[in-house]
A and B are shown apart, each in its own frame.
Chain A
Amino acid sequence: ILNVEQSPQSLHVQEGDSTNFTCSFPSSNFYALHWYRWETAKSPEALFVMTLNGDEKKKGRISATLNTKEGYSYLYIKGSQPEDSATYLCAFGAAGNKLTFGGGTRVLVKP
């Protein structure tokens, strides 16, 4: 059983503030690390797929970094807005086509 951990489980952030949270995953047999954004009553939506150690990806105010040697990825939200409120899932992919999802970090942005 692969261990994919996300922390914290939830966080509150004031509108306009920046925040970040972590995904840790096995450092062996790494192939890809995915981040998804999951709004309440909707379906998960892909944000990033990262495959190389040191990768950095950015989409608007959201960015992610990857360290495959130590087995972690950070997701950053700069200048949080209420529409950023969602659960952010990471998923670890070993060789093959199977993803193992973490439990998610639930972000609530307070106006």
Chain B
Amino acid sequence: DAGVIQSPRHEVTEMGQEVTLRCKPISGHNSLFWYRQTMMRGLELLIYFNNNVPIDDSGMPEDRFSAKMPNASFSTLKIQPSEPRDSAVYFCASSPSGVNNQPQHFGDGTRLSIL
């Protein structure tokens, strides 16, 4: 079975550029989560979707960050303009249903470096 697929695996770009991270959840999963992992703050939730609808975006750090889920099999996290402090590993995860008694399945992450 294919797991959660994220692309790219690594991204290095210059400050000010637009960055787009992509995620394909596990087929049949109704919930999708975007996380950011840093040394200082650990694993923090940025936003999550149920049935393609954004439910909670309170973790999105600022207006430079946006996320979309146009259909059940694809989501993007965009940073525009990017800044060096956005450098982190970004994980996408999906789970079968909209309640948290189901485990989350994580992708391999995108390691983002903003120079």
Interface residues of A (CB under 8 A from B): 31-32, 34, 42-46, 49, 51, 89, 93-94, 96-104
Contacts and interface: CB of A to CB of B under 8 A. Distances in A.
Interface string B98-111: 11111111111100
A101 B106 CA distance: 14
Contacts of B56: 96, 98
Contacts of A51: 101
A44 to B, nearest CB: 5
Interface stretch (B15-23, B43-51, B66-74, B75-83): B43-51
Interface residues of B, number: 24
7 contacts: A44-B43, A46-B105, A49-B101, A93-B101, A98-B56, A103-B42, A104-B42
Nearest to B6: A43
Mostly, the A contact residues are: loop
B100 A97 contact: yes
A97 B99 contact: yes
Contacts of A97: 31, 48, 50, 55, 95, 98-100
B114 to A, nearest CB: 21
Contact of A44 (B44, B48, B99, B106): B106
